[in-house]
Structure 1
Amino acid sequence: MDSPAGSPANGKSKGKRIRNIISFCHDVRKRFEAGKGDARLQGLTNEVENQINAIKSYTLRSPVSTRHEQLNGAGLELWNWCTQLMRHDDDDNDHPSPIRSRFFILVRVFSFLVLSLAQWGDNHTPGDLVRLQKLAIKAGRSCIVNGELHFALLALQKAAEYNGHLHNLRDSLPKEELSACNSFESEYLTLRIVLAWKDDRLDVAEHLYGKIESLKHKLDPTSAEPIADSLFEIGRGLLARDDAARAVKWLERAYELINSQELGNLSRGGIELRLAISQALIQAYLDTNTPEGVRNAENHVAFIESEMGNKLVVLLLRLEILLHSPAEVFDSHAYADVLQRMMKNVDLSDSSFKLVLHHIRKLEDKSPGLAYSAFDDFITSRIVPTQRSDWIEQAVLIRTHMATTHRDTIQSIRALSAMLDKVETGLGQPFTTTTTLGILTLLWKKIDAKEGPLDIAQEWCRLALHSSLRQCGPSNEAKITRKLLLCALQRNDFSTALDVLDSMSDTTREEPRTMYLVYKLALANNDHEMATDYLGRISNSSPQDLRYLYACCVDAQKKNDKHITLEALRHLVRRYDDTSPGDVHLPALLRLLIRLEVSLLNEQDQTEGSRRSLIEDLCGVFEGAVAAIQRAPSDKEGQKLFTVNELDWFCKNAYNLSLKNLVRWELQHVLRILQCCLSIISQYPKDIPAQASADLSLRKMFCNFLAATALITLARCEDDVEIQLQNYLNMRQNIKQFDEAFEANIEGLNEDPRRDLQTKLSTLLVFDFEGAICLKS
């Protein structure tokens, strides 16, 4: 065996090289099976590559049969081993690593070269040549698929060499081997075309395709399918590069080749390939953006439709053609008609369901009215009968979103209501709470719109009260009925307003907001008795209703009804008077409000919403108390209303309330109460007794500790960076105040309190360090 051709080598050298090659063939398998890790595999791959570069130019000038057989056996064994592992990787769900894939590709090339070397000489049998050409093509195809174009060219050059030998033997070849020879030649040329395309040499690809033209009539379906697939790959690649004109050329070639075979003789994969080529060809026609391209696409779709009928793929192609029409000439009715055919004929699955929704959205962009009609029919005739709640609820939510996105009309709202009627009848039950709240969230944007005709708002309210949405909960139902009542009031439709009021539940009628609307209704109807009655109800409701008393005063003044205005003012004075301290003792009123709020919070039957509202209002009362304390109001004799005893009450209750509800309230509310406590402490006179001053200092330190702890918790959970940093900043301020108070009072503290405060300070210093880091201080 010679190193490069022409270099002298004796028999001993030849034998040594053959033994080395055979040994390496066995060594590759052993080292692969023994080795672990990508690093070792990469090293072995590099060795295989070096062997390929060394062996590719070797020749065996003198036949040595024993050596030939050893080389052939070693190469064949390595090829089969490699093929078996590659198939195993293809069958496995996990994709092999790039290093593993490249290793097998190079081993396949190396084993092919070993087999080629073993068969070197001038006395090849046709069977040997056919077998070697087949292996060369397989190796070349693997290299092309995996991007190893250099080695692909090496394998295909060998294939060309064997093809040349077979051409010289054509006259003596039996029919079967001649057929295989033609098949391999066409496949070789196809791979060379793909290789040229991947190497951006379309001129070479065009030249090579010319050679295939003369072989097309000799191809059977088994040979034609892979060639058409390769041409399809080129056309699809050009289409992805936005080169529609050349993509059309190659896709037409692929379609012509696959279509030249009898349809019944094609494999299942071949039939699918034919359809895939058609789809890509239609897309390429459309992407040319020419009238001729659109005509060709339409003709091709018509041809497919004549074969397949109302199949989903045909209808999708029809829709694709329609979507390529300019916006000004887009045929919405034709699109809706095709979409209706699709919805009637499609086999429903998760993917087809999403597909229909996608095209309904497309139609919605062009013609919302047609989209509403088509979608309603799809929901009621196809989706509801499946009883798939996830499909039904998703479709209804999307349909509601469509209705709330476009221009409002009474007809479109009623169409949506009619669809909900049919869905409820088909389901036999209302929607789930989650779906109901999702629909109401969409509808509420329309109901709560500040502008727009009142009759439209009223229709939205009636839709929101649809029986299929009765899982909305009493709170939402109350909000909607109040809005409906307000619409009737604004339209001066008192008869409808009274009907709405009668339809309300007792709980809703007793809510302050509803009572205020009824009060407005009484004013508009000049019904003094009803207005007076509801003023009393509003006045006797919970503290947050004070705003409604003010609103009642304003409405009565606008109505110029002095009697009702006076009645409203009286109720307001009885509840609270900030301008006349002699009539209402402000601290006592605030204490009463706080006690009432706390007692309401302690009741077990509070809903989460009303409980949160009470907590919020309680925070507001304390903050109002702080503001009043800072104003330092006086009575008629000039005595301060907020004495030290009053300050003690508000300070202690704020502290105890925050401590008691530290884990039950939202931290924002606890922080507000703690801040109120700190603000009240700062308002104490400077001349209070020393013991009281020391107690206040300790309470202030505990408030600072609790506030800092709450703030760092909020900061850690906050996604908004600005708010997070503000929380850290406020935390550090509280820690600083704690530290200053501790230093000022440390000498007067007993051992146990001092140790406790030191422990708290050590905790706060950790928090302070975290805050400093986050604030980059």
Structure 2
Amino acid sequence: MFIDHHDVSLAESVMSNGAKYIDDLSKNATPLPADEEGERINLECEFLVQRIELSFLQHNVNAAELMCNNAMERFSRDESAAGRLEPRIRESLGKVLYKIGKDMVKQANLTAGVEWLARALEIVDPKHVGSERFAPELRFGVMQNLVQTSLKTGTPSDLRKAKEVMKVMVKEWPEKLNVHCLGLDIIVAQGLGAEAYHAALMNMMTGVALSERSFKVIVGKCHVLLAQDLQGRGYRLACNVLDHFMTERLILEDNQGWIEQAFVTRVWMIIQDPQLDEEVIQGLRQLCEATATKLAGPLSISATHASQILLWKVSDSLVTSGRWLEAIQWCRVALHPIFGRSGETNTGKIARRLIHCAIEAQNYGAAQDAYKSMPESCQEMGSTQFLLFKIALRSLDLETAKRCLDLVCNGPNRDIAILYACALEAQSIGNKDIILKVLSQLLEQADTKTPPEGAHFPAIYRTMIRLILSDIQDNKAVEDGNLDTLYSVFQKALNNAKKSSKMPEVTTDETSKPTWSTDEYDWFSRNSYNLALRALQHWPPRYALHFSQLCIQFIKLYLVETCSEEDFENLDLRRSFCEYICVSTCVALAREEKTMEDQLRLYGDARSSIINFREIREKLHPVLTEQSRKDFGERYLGLLSHEFEACVHLELWDVLPGIVEEVAQFGQLQPLRRIGDMILCGDAPTTTLLLVLENLINHTLQIEKHKIDKIARWIRILLQKSLQGDLDRGERLVYQVLDICKRPAVGNEYPQDELEWIAATLWNLGIDKNCAGDFAGSKKWAEFALSVASLIKDGGQLEGLLQGKFAKLRTS
């Protein structure tokens, strides 16, 4: 009792008294009766048991070993004494030795632990009389700890000892779980390999009673078997054990949780096999069938998801390595009815992978079958329709491809990323009609939805433009619809480029390039410019206007930091040509336009382009060659006439005199004559009309080889208007006519009928003045009439007539 309470000092005192008593008994020379001798032996053995335990508690291991050897010699190896020893005392000695052995193991003194445990096993050996009545737990515990400690030391002698003890344990406790576990540990320690471990584990699986603990231990040992031979058959041996475990033991138990846990473990184990060949998938398929038969229904949701996640990982690796046919098999297993509770989302995901693999393997029939077996809600998803779109394209079923495309574009969950994938797929196949349809749909959604990562819209626009141009090239009779589509693509590209230019560049990768670069702007500006030139020759004028305007807008997007001074000079030249085309086409279209609003809009656009052209001309003038300046000047002169026409229609009257001055600087008659015609046809205010006509007359007279007939007509109109309110201008005109007529102009004389009209008009004005009592004014204008009449080559008839009448005029 004192030792149990670790009161060592008191126990030592008691033991001293007990030693004296034992010593006195041993000195008794008189033989004792048999029953008394047996009692003495038991007392002495019990005393030694207490002394051994006390010595160990005092950390006096040597004394404990001495006492133990003494006890072993006296009461175990001496058959006479051993036969008289009570089982209770023998069991007590065995417990003490067992306790010391375990304590030694705890202190990591494995060698001593093995020795003490071996002594304990010798004490509880069944050969001793009455030992069969010992508590079986003690003997089993001693043997179990002896085997475990021997395995830990790893010495050959201890391993042999463990093996010998193990044989006894297997014989005595063939159904005990721990015995089988020790046997497996010995196999591992001796390195007997996966085959031996597999055989022992199969015995364990069939021999032990099933419980929650034994189930977990067997599954855990399968993991150990898996790790025994990673480069060999460990994967399949572990799976073989689980297969037998499920079909021979678990299937007889009414515990679905065990079956599902073993099933998921089985799936996990098999995917560790690097081979993943037909034998593996066939075994897994058979296991699914057998499990489904036993359960009479699908696995639980958690077990289903766990298994499908594992199977998905296998298909992932197979897809990555391009093993399409094998990936199809694994996807089919993942769609087995035993996984019927996976839900439509997971089922659709796996089915889509199966379709993808079948497409890559060019097994379009299998892909179609997988599609048909999908739930209807999964079939309608955009990602599923994309796969069906791929099948249709590769099967040359264009009608189905178009239907799929319509569902992708118009479905409830429209995804621009899927539409982009359709575009790439169509482009890889090379069907022009489908590509155009896909790209058109993609661009329609690009303005309202975020583009998918990696989508390069400039490339999409370029692809569409090339396809449309190839179609235009193939068809000699170009339809306006194709041209409208072409223009629409350019316009969308421009809008996207503007939108991109306003967005801040946020990137951490210095090597990445913006979506719209200077090279992209250059491609679109050049091609729109070329199309504008092409339109001038072959297409209706409005397309020349459209593509010229597009070119100008793309040029405006060029980044200053990416272009040299020479680049900008070339861009300005290109833009000047486009502005020139814009003016010409706007004026031409305005002349044909029937509605006043559209006509004025076109004239307004024309004037804006002229202003831009003027600015470019002034900017480039210092750097142009003489010939280039001349060419620029000729184009500018033509635009000034258009500007004059636009301003007349826009009623910008104050601008007209300035335009006349600019035209006059070129010293050419024809532009001035056109301007004269335009001002006369317009509805200009009298002041403006008079000023413009007067300037036209003055500038035209300064040009050599001018035609007097046109000037005479202008003078008649100007004089007629001037005499109605601006007599000073009229007087200047008369002097100008007199001066013109006095100049030598053979073949270019002032028209006689015009002179007659002027003389008559001036005479009538004089008469009007006379009647009004303005005798001085009457005389002045009558004299002007006589001067003009004197220039008429009619033999002096008109002059004589007017002279006679002049003499009769009242002078006061």
Shorter-chain TM-score tier: 0.5 to 0.7
Residue 405 of structure 2 aligns with an amino acid whose one-letter code is L
Q: Distance in 1 between matches of 2:164 and 2:371?
A: 64
Provide the C-alpha distance between the structure 2 equivalents of 1:170 and 1:384, rounded to a whole number of angstroms.
Answer: 73
- Matching of residue 511 in structure 1 with residue 381 in structure 2: yes
The correspondence of residues 358-757 of structure 1 with structure 2, limited to 5 A, is 358-366=220-228, 367-407=234-274, 408-449=276-317, 451-452=320-321, 453-542=323-412, 544-577=414-447, 631=503
Residue 693 of structure 2: aligned partner: none
Q: How many residues align?
A: 443
The answer to whether residue 90 in structure 2 is matched with residue 224 in structure 1 is: yes
Residues 156 and 451 from structure 1, CA distance in 2 versus in 1: closer, same or farther, beyond 3 angstroms? Answer: farther
- Which residue is 1:335 aligned to? 197
1:192–1:208 CA contact under 8 A, matched in 2: yes
Which residue type is aligned with residue 397 of structure 1?
A: V
What pairs up with 1:84-95 in 2 under 5 angstroms? Answer: none
Structure 1 partner of 2:2: 139
Q: CA deviation at 1:573?
A: 3.3
Whole-Å separation in 1 of the counterparts to 2:260 and 2:346: 19
Q: After alignment, is 420-429 or 300-309 more displaced?
A: 300-309
Question: Relative to 1, partners in 2 of residues 1:316 and 1:578: Cα closer, same or farther, differing over 3 Å?
Answer: closer
C-alpha contact (below 8 Å) 1:221/1:261 kept by paired residues: no
Equivalent position of 1:251 in the other structure: 117
The letter for the 1-side match of 2:202 is Q
DSSP-derived class of the 1:372 partner: helix
Q: Provide the secondary structure at the position in 2 that maps to 1:266.
A: helix
1:406-453 Cα deviation digits (max 9, x unpaired)? 322332222122112111111211111222122222222223345232
Q: How far apart, in 2, do the equivalents of 1:351 and 1:268 lie?
A: 27
Counterpart-to-counterpart distance in 1, 2:268 and 2:167:
36
Change beyond 3 A, Cα 1:264–1:384: farther
How does 1:219-298 map onto structure 2 within 5 Å? 219-259=85-125, 261-262=127-128, 265-269=131-135, 271-298=136-163
How far off is 1:268 after superposition?
4.8
Given that 1:232 and 1:251 are in contact with CA atoms closer than 8 Å, whether structure 2 keeps it comes out as: yes
Change in Cα spacing, 1:572 to 1:296, as seen in structure 2 (3 Å) is same
Matches of 1:308 and 1:356, distance apart in 2: 18
Alignment partners' CA distance in 1, 2:158 and 2:94: 22
Return the offset for 1:383.
0.7
Q: CA deviation at 1:528?
A: 1.7
Distance 1:567 1:258, change over 3 A: same
Work out which of the residue numbers 171, 192, 197 in structure 1 matches 2:51.
Answer: 192
**Partner Cα distance (2:66, 2:406) in 1:** 98
Q: CA deviation at 1:166?
A: 4.8
* Distance of aligned partners of 1:150 and 1:416 in 2 relative to their CA distance in 1, 3 Å threshold: farther
Query: What residue is the counterpart of 1:354 in the other structure?
Result: 216
The structure-2 alpha-carbon separation of the partners of 1:280 and 1:507, relative to structure 1 and needing over 3 Å to count, comes to same
Q: How does 1:96-107 map to 2 (within 5 A)?
A: none
Alignment of 1:171-210 (within 5 A): 171=30, 178-210=37-69
Aligned residue identity for 1:424 = A
- Work out which of the two has the higher radius of gyration on C-alpha atoms and give 1 or 2: 2
> Is the 2:150–2:161 contact (alpha carbons within 8 Å) kept by the matching residues of 1?
yes
SS of structure 2 residue aligned to 1:205: helix
- Structure 2 residue matching 1:501: 3-state secondary structure: helix
8 Å Cα contact 2:408/2:414 also seen in 1: no
Moved more, 537-546 or 190-199: 190-199
Deviation (angstroms), 1:462: 0.9
- Check whether the contact 1:220–1:261 (CA below 8 A) recurs between aligned residues: no
- 1:299, CA displacement in angstroms? 2.6
Kept in 1, the 8 Å contact 2:45–2:75? The answer is: yes
Counterpart Cα distance in 2 of 1:539 and 1:515: 10
Using the alignment, how far apart are the partners of 2:17 and 2:280 within structure 1?
A: 72
Asked if structure 2 preserves the Cα contact closer than 8 Å seen for 1:489 and 1:497, the reply is: yes
Deviation readout 1:275-323 (Å, 9 max, x if unpaired): 2222222233333323333333223323443445565444333212101
Q: Which amino acid aligns with 1:331?
A: G
Gapped runs of 5+ residues in structure 2? Answer: 229-233, 450-495, 505-548, 551-812
Q: Structure 1, unaligned stretches of length 5 or more?
A: 1-137, 580-623, 638-777
Identity over the aligned pairs, expressed in percent? 29
Shift of 1:468: 0.8
Q: Give the partner amino acid of 2:282.
A: R
Mean CA deviation greater in 179-188 or 305-314: 305-314
Structure 2: how far apart are the matches of 1:576 and 1:298? 76
Q: Which one-letter code corresponds to 1:249 in the other structure? A: E
Q: Distance in 1 between matches of 2:129 and 2:501?
A: 94
Q: Which moved more, 1:535-544 or 1:507-516?
A: 535-544
Q: Which has the higher contact order (CA 8 A, sep 6+)?
A: 1
Match of 1:159 in 2: 18
SS of the residue corresponding to residue 354 of structure 1 reads helix
Structure 1: distance between partners of 2:124 and 2:200: 29
Structure 1 residues 291, 534: CA separation in 2 closer, same or farther (over 3 Å shift)?
A: same
Structure 1 residues 170 and 252 mapped into 2: Cα distance closer, same or farther (>3 Å)? farther
Structure 1 residues 307 and 631: CA distance shift in structure 2, 3 A:
closer
CA–CA distance in structure 1, aligned partners of residues 29 and 140 of structure 2: 36
Q: 1:631 to 1:307 in 2, by over 3 A?
A: closer
For 1:391 and 1:209, locate their aligned partners in 2 and report how far apart those are by CA, in whole Å. 49
Q: Deviations 1:653-697 (Å, cap 9, x if unpaired)?
A: xxxxxxxxxxxxxxxxxxxxxxxxxxxxxxxxxxxxxxxxxxxxx
SS state of the match for residue 2, structure 2?
helix
Give the distance between the partners of 2:61 and 2:382, measured in 1 at CA.
Answer: 80
* Counterpart Cα distance in 1 of 2:130 and 2:56: 32
Contact 2:348–2:378, Cα closer than 8 Å, also in 1: yes
Whether the 8 Å CA contact 2:175–2:208 is kept in 1: the answer is no
Deviation at 1:139, TM superposition (A): 2.4
Q: Is the 8 A contact 1:516 1:548 kept in 2?
A: yes
Structure 2 CA distance for aligned equivalents of residues 303 and 215 of structure 1: 23
Q: Deviations over 1:594-638 (max 9, x none)?
A: xxxxxxxxxxxxxxxxxxxxxxxxxxxxxx9xx999859xxx99x
CA distance in 1, matches of 2:118, 2:371: 72
Q: String of CA shifts for 1:739-773, please: whole Å, max 9, x gaps.
A: xxxxxxxxxxxxxxxxxxxxxxxxxxxxxxxxxxx
The alignment status of 1:214 with 2:74, answered yes or no, reads yes
Find the aligned partners of 1:154 and 1:409 in 2 and give their Cα distance. Answer: 76
Question: In the TM superposition, what is the alpha-carbon distance from 1:457 to its structure 2 partner?
Answer: 1.8
